[in-house]
Amino acid sequence: MELTLKKRKKNTIIPGFTLTLGYTMLYLSIIVLLPLSMVFFNTLSMSWSEFWETIADPRAVASYKLSFGTALAAGIINVIFGTIIAWVLVRYQFPGKRIVDGLVDLPFALPTAVAGIALATLYSPNGWVGQFFDFKIAFTPLGIIIALTFIGLPFVVRTVQPVLQNLSSEIEEASASLGATRLQTFTKVIFPELLPAIITGFSLAFARSLGEYGSVVFIAGNMPMKTEITPLIIMTKLEQYDYVGATAIATVMLITSFVLLLLINIIQWYTNRKFNLK
Amino acid sequence: MRKKKKSVLLASAITASLLLSACGGDSQANSEGKVEILNVSYDPTRELYVEFNEAFANHWKEQTGQDVSFQQSHGGSGKQGRAVIDGIEADVVTLALAYDIDEIAQTRQLLDEDWQTEFEYNSSPYTSTMVFLVRKGNPKGIKDWDDLVRDDVSVITPNPKTSGGARWNYLAAWGYADKKFNGDEKQIQDFMKQLFGNVEVLDSGARGSTTTFVEREIGDVLIAWENEAYLSINELGVDEFEIVTPSLSILAEPPVAVVDKIVDKKGTREVAEGYLEYLYSDEGQEIAAKNYYRPRNEEILEKYSDQFQSLDLITIEDFGGWQEAQKKHFADGGTFDEIYQ
Amino acid sequence: MTKPLEVEQETSLKVGNVATKSYALQESALVKWSLITISLIFLALFLILPLVSIFVTALEKGWATYVASIADPDALAAIKLTLTVVLIVVPLNAIFGIVAAWAITKFSFKGKNVLITLIDLPFAVSPVIAGLVFILLFGAQGLFGEWLFQNDIKIVFALPGIVIATMFVTFPFVARELIPLMQMQGITEEEASISLGASGWKTFFFVTLPNIKWGLLYGLILCNARTIGEFGAVSVVSGHIRGMTNTMPLHIEILYNEYQFTAAFAVASLMSILAIITIIIKNIIEWKAKDV
């Protein structure tokens, strides 16, 4: 089956290859590639040492650490709770389940600025939630993590959910019939099956979190070296008319995004192939 | 195959036409007797220009019979300056700092480098200064800049890198320390370090800081434009806040300018110049005073004297002008960056 | 060791091929309900509370203020602008998504993975950078700046700039939804149709489109939601001219900055309602898609 399919693909009789690919490339170039190349193009006007000085500036470095650290923390939180939520939504019945299922998409549909304002209101020291804590949540890295958790949640849930749904019950039955406890079945059988989806979900949420701006600025506090995210550094540079500096930082972010995405696609490609071979 | 080609062509055509229709969306109808002015301004002037635009429209109609309508854009001063440099077609700019207009003049030559001599008083029809907003009853007993470096005081100010108002704040504090320590840079720098060590949230704009202080109830003192301080008291709670005027502050001169190249292109020079000149008229000065900006006109200033306390004011010239101040304090590696290093 | 095994075999035998899980394949009730509780608490803290707070603040000063905030001319202009952007961006990205998915899934060629990654790219690019690139391209200092100024064509700080930045941000959504779907469906049906003499156009409309309609609709809805809500990129290219280049999210920011918190949250609640409607439609689509 696999072989014949491959063979057929090579001499397909379906029309429109040149045109659809041509249109795809054209549109892609105009809307995405040409604009993005401007970042590199503008950075080229810097000398290597200037470039290095800009991107290795202590404030910029602190912002990478912060953006990276908070995105990582939010990603891990989402992996844990996102997987639990996906599990609950697929495996259990409880009242209001459909509403909960729909709600998971909210961060996706809600404008990020609205989310940022609402979260800042809730988690500020006098907010509904913030007042119960002795320490500050909003205006600290904790606040940023909360905003990024909000933004990233649907990615993990929505990538894990379908995989969990398609998981055949037979392997679980086999595992159980071989004497494995429920926990063993989960860790040894189910979890490895979910892992590629979890990694994909995590990476998507992570990539999105690295660049997130709208929701974070309202809740971050924006202190240099402490709560200043990388996109804000770009904004700051722009507002000081330092276009080249802004594009230098943007270059760093762009390359990071591209590498991350490539990684996600390689994972997906790899797992797809694994499934095809089965 | 050919049909597919057609469909793709069709798709491309739709793409193109949709894009083109988007481009044609806002052609300016500069028909006889009606003119439109775009005023690109900074954050705290919203209320001022709502009132002033209406007054000027009436005045202009009476004088010339021409209808003038306004478009306003507000944002952080640096952001707005950048927007003009990047191509927003502002007839007039009314920003927080001369530096931002200098930048427009230098990078795109949209106006003359000596634009600041166009109108009276450094092209700044109204001034303001930096004061403290504290919570009702002044529980921390904040009276002057010295109290802001106390360990038990938490300060809110916007980020000088992104906010024009914050740069005035910074320079006012610097000016105070300069006087206190007789210009000893090391001690001034320590003072600034202590002050910013007390800053809890560094919002990107003046409005953000006010919200943090007022709505989120963070901080004991907000360093703010005098006009913003009054406005927030009136808008957000007369009996919740007090204004404290420090012994020394800075004369903040928010400048205005006609953007020569744009008005010449649009043919709006006459009305744009009339517009800014009218800011100096009695009515314009009165509106500025009503919106808590200090008017240049002595008589009107006198009339509103109970809302404008007198205090020692240093000026930007004490720092050698904006170009110097920017380079020394706010550019990358400047004194502000050193605080956080 | 042997005892539970017997029990398990028995239950799984009883249930047989029915989809419901057998007893031994489930967690204890304690685990089940604690997992459900954890999920609900987490969702309440992160999703439900923010949503509720928006509506509570919006209605704080009564219904009349709420209506007035939304019926304000600047608010209406913002709503109109946002809808205009949707009407331009969503169809364009839909056409692109279909064409790209066709090219990628119906043919094999080298560099496919790179192409897919490039299509995904806008998704991972910070909105701030997305706005910045169009300033670098069409801003007065940009590549085409001088030419645009000479010819009096406005792109950034006008509708076209907002449209194109939004297009960039929402670029992958439809394509991303269709590619895995069409990959799964393979090419046999299309090949059959073509070999029976149908044209490519006809094949697409009568064979492919019915197969992908739910996926397409789903992609459209995601694209639509993101178009309405985009903030960062649009904020860079909009210029914030009141009543002209302010989209709904920007209008919210402006109201917020004018200390009109109630009005800001009123418009925000309107956007939340839009988001909820989107979610409901999406769920309906999912049911329908499952039934098919």
Which H or E run includes C255? helix C248-257
pLDDT at position C25 is 67
The two three-digit tokens of residue A159, written as one number = 């990538």
> Which of C139, C162, C183 lies closest to C230 in space, CA to CA?
C162
The two three-digit tokens of residue B167, written as one number = 């740069």
Chain C residue closest in CA terms to A270: C113
Phi/psi zone of residue B33: left (φ > 0), alpha (ψ -120 to 50 degrees), beta?
A: left
Q: What is the total residue count of chain A? A: 278
Chain A residue closest in CA terms to B7: A19
Question: Which of B7, B216, B326 to mutate to test binding with chain A, by most A CBs within 10 Å of its CB?
Answer: B216
Task: Average the pLDDT over B21-40 and give the result.
Answer: 62
Contact check, Cβ <8 Å, B85/A238? no
A-chain residues within 8 Å CB-CB of B204? 217, 222, 232, 235-236
Mean pLDDT of chain A: 85
For residues A168-189, b (16+ Cβ closer than 10 Å) or e, as one string? ebeebbebbeeebebeebbeeb
Residue B55 near chain A (CB below 8 Å): no
Task: Average the pLDDT over A112-126 and give the result.
Answer: 88
Percent of chain A with pLDDT over 70: 93
Give C108-111 contacts, CB < 8 A, sequence gap 24+.
C108/A9, C108/A10, C109/A17, C109/A21
> Which of C54, C52, C84 lies closest to C263 in space, CA to CA?
C54
Confidence of residue B319 (pLDDT cuts 50, 70, 90): very high
Q: What is the pLDDT of residues A162-189, one digit of tens each?
A: 888 888 778 888 888 888 888 888 888 8
Q: Are B27 and B36 in contact (CB under 8 A)?
A: no
For residues A201-217, b (16+ Cβ closer than 10 Å) or e, as one string? bbbbbbbbbbbbbbbbb
Pairing of strands B256-258, B92-94: antiparallel
Task: Count CB-CB contacts under 10 A for residue B294.
Answer: 22
Residue B151 lies in a domain: yes
Domain boundaries, chain C: 27-58, 62-291
Q: Are A147 and A200 in contact (CB under 8 A)?
A: no
Phi/psi zone of residue B292: left (φ > 0), alpha (ψ -120 to 50 degrees), beta?
A: left
Task: Average the pLDDT over A4-27 and give the result.
Answer: 74
pLDDT at position B17 is 54
Give the separation between CA B263 and CA A220, rounded to whole angstroms.
40
The matching CATH number, chosen from 1.10.600.10, 1.10.1740.10, 1.10.3720.10, 2.40.40.20, for A63-228 is 1.10.3720.10
Chain B residue closest in CA terms to C150: B265
Please tell me whether residues B80 and B166 are part of one structural domain.
no
Please tell me whether residues B213 and B326 are part of one structural domain.
yes
Strands (E), chain B: 34-42, 67-75, 92-94, 126-127, 130-135, 155-156, 199-201, 221-225, 241-244, 248-250, 256-258, 294-295, 312-314
Q: What is the total residue count of chain C? A: 292
| pLDDT reading at A234 higher than 70 | yes
Give the separation between CA A256 and CA A153, rounded to whole angstroms.
21
Mean pLDDT of chain B: 87
Q: Which of B4, B25, B46 sits opposite C258 (nearest CB)?
A: B46
> Which of B135, B129, B125, B301 lies closest to B232 in space, CA to CA?
B135
DSSP conformation class of A33: I
Q: What is the pLDDT of residues C171-181, one digit of tens each?
A: 998 998 898 88
Domain boundaries, chain A: 63-228
Question: Which amino acid is present at B21?
Answer: S
Contact check, Cβ <8 Å, B86/C139? yes
Contact check, Cβ <8 Å, A92/C126? no
Give the separation between CA C117 and CA C98, rounded to whole angstroms.
17
The matching CATH number, chosen from 3.10.290.10, 3.30.390.10, 1.10.3720.10, 3.30.70.100, for C62-291 is 1.10.3720.10
Task: Average the pLDDT over A107-119 and give the result.
Answer: 85
> Which of the given ranges, A129-138, B249-258, C113-122, has the highest pLDDT on average?
B249-258
Question: Which of A94, A106, A219, A232 to mutate to test binding with chain C, by most C CBs within 10 Å of its CB?
Answer: A106
Residue C92 near chain B (CB below 8 Å): yes
Q: What is the pLDDT of residues B59-107, one digit of tens each?
A: 999 999 899 999 999 988 888 999 999 989 999 999 999 999 999 999 8
Q: What three-state secondary structure class fits B94?
A: strand
Contact check, Cβ <8 Å, B201/A22? no
Burial of C290 (0-12, 13-18, 19+ CB in 10 A): exposed
| pLDDT reading at B170 higher than 50 | yes
pLDDT at position C21 is 44
Question: Which amino acid is present at B242?
Answer: E
Least confident of B34-38, B124-128, B293-297, C119-123: C119-123
> Which of B137, B164, B141, B177 lies closest to B81 in space, CA to CA?
B164
pLDDT at position A199 is 87
Give the separation between CA C273 and CA B163, rounded to whole angstroms.
34
Q: Which of B79, B218, B341 sits opposite A239 (nearest CB)?
A: B79
| pLDDT reading at B116 higher than 60 | yes
Pairing of strands B130-135, B312-314: unpaired
What is the distance in angstroms between the Cα of A125 and the nearest Cα belonging to chain C?
A: 15
Residue B29 near chain C (CB below 8 Å): no
> Which of B276, B270, B280 lies closest to B64 in space, CA to CA?
B270
Give the separation between CA B208 and CA B156, rounded to whole angstroms.
10
Task: Count CB-CB contacts under 10 A for residue B89.
Answer: 24
Please tell me whether residues B197 and B327 are part of one structural domain.
yes
| pLDDT reading at A11 higher than 60 | no
Residue B52 lies in a domain: yes
Q: What is the pLDDT of residues C31-72, one digit of tens each?
A: 889 999 999 999 998 889 999 999 998 998 888 989 998 898
Q: Which of B1, B14, B21 sits opposite C200 (nearest CB)?
A: B1
Alpha-carbon distances of C292 from B166, C3, C211, C220, C285, rounded to whole Å: 61, 43, 10, 19, 11
pLDDT at position C292 is 58
Task: Count CB-CB contacts under 10 A for residue A267.
Answer: 16
Contact check, Cβ <8 Å, A124/B216? yes
Please tell me whether residues B189 and B153 are part of one structural domain.
yes
- Strands of B199-201's sheet, edge to edge? B199-201, B155-156, B221-225, B130-135, B241-244
Please tell me whether residues B52 and B163 are part of one structural domain.
no
Task: Average the pLDDT over B280-307 and give the result.
Answer: 93
- List the CATH number of the domain containing B97: 3.40.190.10
> Which of C28, C38, C23, C283 lies closest to A88 in space, CA to CA?
C38
Q: Are B54 and B278 in contact (CB under 8 A)?
A: no
Q: What is the pLDDT of residues B185-228, one digit of tens each?
A: 899 999 999 999 999 888 888 888 888 898 888 899 999 999 98
Q: What three-state secondary structure class fits C130?
A: helix
pLDDT at position A261 is 83
Question: Which amino acid is present at A78?
Answer: N
Give the separation between CA C242 and CA A106, rounded to whole angstroms.
28
> Which residue bears the tokens 């690139």?
C133
Residue B158, domain extent: 130-251+311-339
A-chain residues within 8 Å CB-CB of C106? 12, 14, 16-17, 20
Please tell me whether residues B162 and B200 are part of one structural domain.
yes
Question: Which of A213, A239, A247 to mutate to test binding with chain B, by most B CBs within 10 Å of its CB?
Answer: A239
Task: Count CB-CB contacts under 10 A for residue C156.
Answer: 29
pLDDT at position C167 is 94
What is the value of pTM for the model shown?
0.84
Chain A residue closest in CA terms to C39: A85
Q: Are B65 and B223 in contact (CB under 8 A)?
A: no
Q: Tell me how far apart the terminal alpha carbons of chain A are, to the nearest angstrom.
A: 12
What is the distance in angstroms between the Cα of B306 and the nearest Cα belonging to chain A?
A: 34
Question: Which of A110, A119, A247 to mutate to test binding with chain C, by most C CBs within 10 Å of its CB?
Answer: A110
Q: What three-state secondary structure class fits B200?
A: strand
Give the separation between CA B56 and CA B279, rounded to whole angstroms.
9
Chain C residue closest in CA terms to A185: C25
Q: What three-state secondary structure class fits B258?
A: strand
Cβ partners under 8 Å of residue C157, min gap 6: B83, B86, B87, B88, B89, C237, C238, C239, C241, C245
Please tell me whether residues B119 and B246 are part of one structural domain.
no
Q: Which chains touch B (3 or more CB pairs under 8 A)?
A: A, C
User: Which parts of chain C have pLDDT scores under 50?
Assistant: 1-23
Please tell me whether residues B247 and B257 are part of one structural domain.
no
Pairing of strands B34-42, B67-75: parallel
